Amino acid sequence: MKKILFATTALIATAGMAAAEINLGGSARFGLAYNESNAESTRVEQRMRINITGIATTDAGVKFEARFRLESNEDSSNAIAGRGPGAAGFAVSYEGLRVDVGNVSDVIDSGDVVDYYGYGIGLTALVEHNTPFYGNGLPIGGFGAGDQDTTTVKARYTASGFTVAASYSETRAQAAVTTTDSAGDTTVTTAAVAATDEFQIGAGYDFNGTTVGAAYGDDDAAGEFWVATVSGSFGQFGYSVIVGDADAFADVAVGASMNYEISSATSIQALVADGANDADATYGVGFKHSLGGGVTLKGGVASDNGNTLADLGVALSF
């Protein structure tokens, strides 16, 4: 019934526009999560995301896209809030060339040339092999449900296993703004935003199931940084290795993650990472078990710079 209703809606919405369509897709998860560092260490984890994408294709085969995201999340106090639609992202593509504009990922976040995230642990990706990069000054940006102070332009070209990509992000200076509601009861001040520019450039190559890539960036506020990765699979085993450095790091950051398929439905993940400005290593183990129909049971336990994390729950894909 769900498929019939959706198909009917799509036909009505696109009547007279044979080369245009609206796609809906998303994910959700719920379960329990533990964070040792929080005053209330255990919370009910819950999140839902819906991506809405409009697609139109010219007679010459040039594809145009526009999308935004709706999202609902909990916080550490068990409050629940939704946000979106946020800023939109746009794209135009033809054969091996694609250009993204607006609320879009930069080169490193996009995965065009480097595997920045690897195999995350647990329901919520408690830790990833890039965890030492977070909170340590590396300015990686991606598509999300919120508003953006920054506009990003990214271009990517792929041919014969080679991919090259470049992105430019600009944040223009914005003064602090104070607003008061009509009753004069509530005053909200939006913080000032400093002007910054950032560019990233990278290249990657995919051969015989192995992908290697590297990216370099320079940000007015954070300085220079680079990331290189190697990833691939053989048999039931998948792996990803990352190394990177930045002006904001005290040490080179390194990480490795793996996935092993025990069966067609069940797999286990493990990772270790260290460096940047972290005093302790990050490590974790997790599992995934498919229940069919886009439903997966996930869980894991990890240590992030000395802080213990754990989760268990169900993830939905639709």
The DSSP output letter for 136 is T
CA distance 11 to 21: 9
For the chain, the maximum distance between any two Cα atoms, rounded to a whole number of angstroms, is 66
Preceding omega of 132 cis (within 30 degrees of 0): no
For residue 205, the Cα-to-chain-centroid distance in whole angstroms is 21
Contact partners, residue 232, CB within 8 Å, separation at least 6: 209, 210, 211, 238, 239
Give the tokens for residue 73: 């999340």
- Predicted confidence at residue 15, as pLDDT, reads 45
| β-strand partners of 271 | 257, 284
pTM value is 0.85
Nearest to 254 by CA among 140, 118, 129: 129
Model confidence pLDDT, tens digit, residues 77-106: 677 877 778 899 999 999 999 999 999 999
**Residue 313, φ and ψ in degrees, nearest 5:** 175, -165
Q: Residue 237 is which amino acid?
A: F
- Topology adopted by domain 22-317: Porin (2.40.160)
- Predicted confidence at residue 19, as pLDDT, reads 66
Positions of the chain with pLDDT under 50: 1-18
- Predicted confidence at residue 171, as pLDDT, reads 78
